[in-house]
Structures are given as C-alpha cells and as structure tokens.
Amino acid sequence: MLKIKPFFIVFEGVEGCGKSYQSKKLYKKLKKNNIPTLLTREPGGTKSAELIRNLILKDYFNKSKKDKFDKLTDTLLYLASRNEHIKNKIIPELRKKKVVICDRFIDSTIAYQVFGKKVDIKFVNNVHKYILDGLKPNLTFILKVSSQSSKRRLLKRKTRNRYDNFSQSFYTKVQNSFLKIAKNKKNYFILNSSRNDNNLEKKIYEITSKYLKLKN
C-alpha cells in the first residue's frame, strides 16, 4: 500500500454546483486505488454535529421572524457543529494518516454568513482561532456553476433544505465571494462545473493525484 500523509481536501461552492457529487466521485476513485479515505460533510459529520445541522436547516422554514434564529445564533450553531466535527472526526482521521474529503468547510461560513448575511468577519475569525487550532485544508476545489445549471439541478431534488431556497442574486453574491476567497491562493482550484461531467471528474483526480504524489 502507498504511504499517504494525512491530507485534507475540501469542496466548496453554491448549491447546485455539484460539489457533493464530485466529492463522492473522488472518494470512490481514491478508495478504488486503495487510498485510505474518509468522506464527510458540513454542517454535520458526527452524531452531535448532525443534530445541530437539523436545527439550522429547519430554522429557515420558520415563517415568523420572531421564531427565526438571529444571524449570530445561526453562525454560532454552524461553528459549534464545526467544533464537534473537527475534534471528533476530522483530526482523529487525519491522525490515522487518512485522506479526508469534506463537502463544505470554513469558506462556506465566510461566503454565506460573512459576505452573504453580513456577519462581522472578526467575530468568525476569533472563534475559528480556537476551533481550528491551525487546521487548514491542503487542497480546496471551488466549483463554479452557471445560474441555469444550478437552477436545473435544484429543481430535480426530491428533498429541499434552506440552501436550495435562496434567491438567485444571493447565490451570485455567494459564488463571487468564493472566487474572491480563492484568488491568488496556490492550493485553491476554481473549476467550471456547469456540465459536471467525466472531464471535471478526471481533472479533479489529476490535481489530487499530483498533490498526493500518486502514480496515474
């Protein structure tokens, strides 16, 4: 078996960009090649973090503003879920020298809560200092999608959550935020996922192989 160093890969993007689909494809390909790999997601990833996820997602459908979480409460719940996830899953699996693939991570909080909902970035960064304890993704894929492709995919979904119900202008703002976050960062790759086909899957695997120093 190949000797693999602990490696953390994150997929980011707006709803309908295909990040969940592509993260699963990469996971299956690495497993097929006998690379010890874990696939997880945020918010969620552990029993306790999934309970917090359910709270967050259900809250969006409360019609009365009085019943909805304040934006800071909402953000703190995401961060609480992340803390559970990092401490109880991501770090332990990385210590086992696994490749950990995560569907969403801190950039989603910056894009959705900071840029999208106008939560103070200093507030988020200060909490992250304690939660992350130096943890950073080794590789981040930002999947960029056209509004037409995104809409088409969202309409096909049998079950919908809060992320599927924002306005197109909000998605555009969030996608632009992801692109700003990725700008001039060597370990970030912006890939067009409007087609979400085999070529994209191959490109993601090629980049990952290069970073993991795998023989193709």
For residue 177, what pLDDT band results from cuts at 50, 70 and 90?
very high
Least confident stretch, 36-50, 123-137, 154-168, 179-193: 154-168
- CA 91 to the chain's CA centroid: 16
Q: Is residue 120 part of a domain?
A: yes
Q: Is residue 119 part of a domain?
A: yes
Q: Is residue 2 part of a domain?
A: no
**pTM score, whole prediction:** 0.89
CA–CA gap between residue 35 and residue 2 (Å, rounded): 7
Q: How many domains does the chain have?
A: 1
Residue 43 structural domain: 7-212
Residues 67-92: b if buried by 16+ CB within 10 A, e if exposed? eeeeeeebbbbbbbbbbbbbeebbee
Q: What is the pLDDT of residue 61?
A: 59
Q: Is residue 40 part of a domain?
A: yes
Higher pLDDT, 65 or 143: 143
Tell me the CATH number at 189. 3.40.50.300
